[in-house]
Amino acid sequence: MLKLFSYWRSSCSHRVRIGLNLKGLEYEYKAVNLVKGEQFSPDFLKINPIGYVPALVDGDFVVSDSFAILMYLEEKYPQPPLLPSDLKRKAINYQKYIEEKAGADERDIWAKTHIGKGFAALEKLLKDYAGKYATGDEVFLADLYLAPQLYAAVNRFNLDMTQFPLLLRLHEAYSKLPAFQNAAPEKQPDAPSS
């Protein structure tokens, strides 16, 4: 069985959980508490010497980095696909992702400015490609990158999404899909109780 070393609040881990769920793959969730520094423990560093999550273990093979994990899953389990067959839509999927770059002290300011700027650009980028989801009427790789960012903007940073109607619509569409619902941070076994 696949093992996913993950942290409940990690957006990188979040997108991998969505990918696993979309492909209908069962996996064992292995919590790595980043706040407690468990990613630097000798046991975890044996699994992933880089010391970050997510890390996927498939038998005796370990792959880390969310993009590498998703591409590995795409090659090993091609159905349902995470990439569209249309070359332009595929390129948009490869182009689309936003990385979190701020420290905790600057988080809210960063969210309001940089995420907002990024979302404004995404509104323009996706307007000609979006259907029900980011690049058409099927869920693809871009959605796995976009959904955790939208989730964090809405649920963690309380960003006013009314200025981003396309992204708000996508966020609402994702929230209706079981693969996305089950990957949500608060549904993970290491999430704090409410």
Q: Which two tokens stand for residue 82?
A: 């995470």
Return the CATH number at 22.
Answer: 3.40.30.10
Asked if residue 109 and residue 178 are part of one domain, the reply reads: yes
pLDDT tens sequence across 153-169: 999 888 899 999 999 99
Asked if residue 128 and residue 55 are part of one domain, the reply reads: no
Domain assignment of residue 70, yes or no: yes
Domain assignment of residue 95, yes or no: no
Residue 147's pLDDT band, with cuts at 50, 70 and 90, is very high
Asked if residue 108 and residue 72 are part of one domain, the reply reads: no
Is residue 77's pLDDT more than 60?
Answer: yes
Domain termination residue (choose one: 34, 60, 76): 76
pLDDT tens sequence across 103-139: 455 556 666 677 888 898 899 889 999 999 999 999 9
Domain assignment of residue 144, yes or no: yes
Domain assignment of residue 99, yes or no: no
Asked if residue 182 and residue 112 are part of one domain, the reply reads: yes
Q: What is the pLDDT of residue 113?
A: 73
pLDDT tens sequence across 19-48: 999 999 999 999 999 999 999 999 999 999
Q: What is the pLDDT of residue 92?
A: 84
Q: What is the CA radius of gyration of the chain?
A: 16
Q: What is the pLDDT of residue 23?
A: 97
pTM above threshold 0.85: no
Domain assignment of residue 30, yes or no: yes
Return the CATH number at 160.
Answer: 1.20.1050.10
Domain assignment of residue 143, yes or no: yes
Residue type, 152: A
Domain assignment of residue 87, yes or no: no
The helix/strand/coil state of 94 is helix
What DSSP string describes 124-190?
HHHTTT-SSBTTBSS--HHHHHHHHHHHIIIIIS---GGG-HHHHHHHHHHTT-HHHHTTSGGGSTT
Q: How many domains does the chain have?
A: 2
Asked if residue 69 and residue 108 are part of one domain, the reply reads: no
Q: 168 is in which domain, residue-wise? A: 104-186
Q: What is the pLDDT of residue 179?
A: 97
Domain assignment of residue 56, yes or no: yes
Q: What is the pLDDT of residue 108?
A: 66
Asked if residue 118 and residue 51 are part of one domain, the reply reads: no
